[in-house]
């Protein structure tokens, strides 16, 4: 079983649209949406039969006001500015801001009155849905939550499990933007990363950084230049960058104004406009990616 992860560094280059097109072009793969901050893949796959499980991770401090002596030790020790001091009826009272709370437990441990509880926190959900193209494992973090790395890891583990159970030979992962914790959790140990970029200076800048990250974790990458005709000069410059770095460019997808219409119709572009030049380019790219996957070295772990 192979695992292909779609990433970009810069947001909005078309990761999810490309992932949806590859899902439509492929056969019987398991899909995973690791953009747990802002998951979108389900919007174009026609999901149904959702089985959602709560995602419980870490703890949040809660001050029991009745037992609190208002000494302020918690506010003094908290390094995350998560203890709010409020004046109620002429007295200073302390309260934990649950969004700012890091879940470190320092206040809980050092409170001289033992007045701080430390319950587990539910910070989102994950689940399996059926789609037109196979199972989709997806998840959502609550707004303002943290711990996205662990949820990403969980989604990938569940997707691999589902692929093993279904005898699927590919897990196709839609990743998050950036290069931080959820991105690292999305790419470690993958067989191949597809970097979706676009011909703009910001996208080129970010491509360099995400490529560095993939190199840091020794994951092979291939590049897709999306909306390539919006700036042909920069598309050539990206291709040149890739050649210098020894990265294969597996696709140049022209901009298609129908991409937005396809999204509104809730399908991928290759289904919405199969005759379009962009759909043809996506289909050709899929063949190249299959070739790259077949030759990708088996990662450890």
Partner 1 sequence: MRIAVASGKGGTGKTTVAVNLAVTVARSGRQVHLCDCDVEEPNAAIYLDPQLGPAVPVSTPIPVVDNDLCNHCGQCAAICEFNAIACLPRQTLVFPDLCHSCSGCWLVCPEQAITQADRVLGEVSVGSAGSIGFTQGVLRIGETVVPPLIHTVKATVRGAPWVILDAPPGTTCPAVEALRGADFALLVTEPTPFGLHDLDLAVKLARGLDIPCGIVENRAIPGRDIVDRYCAEMDLPVLARIPFTRDLAAVGSEGGLLVDADADVAAAFTQLLDELVGLEARA
Partner 2 sequence: MKLVITAQGPNPEDPVDPRFGRAAYHILFDDKAGTFTTLENQGKDAAQGAGVQAAQTIAASGAEILLTGHCGPKAFQALNAAGVSIFSGVEGRVLDAVQAWRDGRLEELNSPDGTPRH
Please identify, using beta-carbon distances, which residue of 166 and 265 lies nearer to partner 1.
265
Quick one: 152 or 270, whose CB is closer to partner 2?
A: 152
Hey, which residues between 189 and 218 contact partner 2 (CB under 8 A)? Answer: 189, 217
| CB-nearer residue toward partner 1: 133 or 292 | 133
Which residue, 146 or 198, is less far from partner 2 as judged by CB?
146
Applying CB under 8 A, among 150, 161, 237, 290 the residue interacting with partner 2 is 150
CB of 183 to partner 2, least distance (A): 9
Is residue 176 a contact partner of residue 186, using CB atoms and an 8 Å limit? yes
Measured CA to CA in angstroms, residue 52 lies from 72, 127, 158, 171 at distances of: 40, 4, 13, 20
User: d(Cα 15, Cα 8) in Å, to the nearest integer?
Assistant: 7
Residue 175 tokens, joined: 């990743």
- Which residue in the block uniquely carries the two structure tokens 């409020």? 86
Binds 188: which of partner 1, partner 2, none (CB < 5-8 Å by kind): partner 2
DSSP secondary structure of 149-195? HHHHHHHHHHHHHHHHHHT-SEEEEEPPSSSSHHHHHHHTT-SEEEE
Give the binding site for partner 1 (CB under 8 A). 8-13, 16, 37-38, 40, 43-44, 58-59, 77, 79-80, 99-100, 102-106, 109-110, 141, 143-146, 148-149, 176-181, 183-184, 198-202, 205-206, 209, 212-213, 216, 227, 230-231, 234, 255, 260, 263-264, 266
Q: Which two tokens stand for residue 109?
A: 């441990």
CA distance 287 to 293: 10
Does position 149 interact with partner 2 (CB under 8 A)? The reply is: yes
Residue 205's binding partner out of partner 1, partner 2, none, with CB under 5 to 8 Å set by partner kind: partner 1
Given a contact cutoff of 8 angstroms between Cβ atoms, the answer to whether 224 and 285 are in contact is yes
Kindly list the residues in this chain that would bind partner 2 in the complex (CB under 8 A): 56-58, 103, 147, 149-150, 152-153, 181, 184-185, 188-189, 217, 299-301
């Amino acid at each position: 079983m192979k695992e292909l992860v779609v990433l970009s560094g810069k947001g909005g280059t078309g990761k999810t649209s490309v992932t949806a097109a590859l899902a439509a072009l492929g056969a019987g793969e398991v899909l995973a949406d690791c953009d747990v901050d802002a998951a979108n893949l389900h919007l174009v796959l026609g999901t149904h039969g959702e089985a959602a499980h709560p995602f419980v991770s870490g703890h949040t401090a809660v001050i029991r006001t009745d037992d609190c002596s208002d000494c302020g030790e918690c506010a003094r020790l908290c390094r995350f500015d998560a203890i709010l001091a409020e004046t109620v009826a002429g007295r200073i009272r302390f309260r934990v801001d649950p969004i700012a709370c890091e879940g470190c437990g320092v206040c809980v441990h050092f409170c001289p009155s033992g007045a701080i509880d430390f319950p587990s926190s539910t910070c989102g959900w994950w689940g399996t849905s059926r789609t037109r193209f196979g199972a989709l494992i997806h998840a959502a973090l609550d707004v303002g939550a943290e711990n996205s790395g662990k949820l990403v890891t969980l989604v990938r583990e569940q997707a691999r499990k589902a692929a093993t159970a279904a005898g699927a030979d590919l897990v196709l992962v839609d990743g998050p933007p950036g290069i931080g914790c959820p991105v690292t959790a999305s790419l470690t140990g993958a067989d191949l990363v597809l970097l979706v970029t676009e011909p703009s200076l910001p996208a080129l800048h970010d491509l360099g950084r995400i490529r560095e990250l993939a190199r840091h974790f020794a994951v092979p990458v291939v590049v897709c230049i999306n909306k390539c005709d919006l700036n042909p000069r920069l598309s050539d410059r990206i291709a040149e960058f890739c050649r210098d770095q020894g990265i294969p460019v597996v696709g140049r997808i022209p901009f298609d104004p129908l991409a937005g219409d396809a999204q509104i119709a809730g399908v991928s572009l290759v289904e919405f406009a199969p005759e379009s030049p962009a759909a043809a380019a996506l289909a050709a790219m899929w063949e190249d990616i299959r070739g790259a996957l077949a030759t990708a070295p088996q990662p450890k772990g």
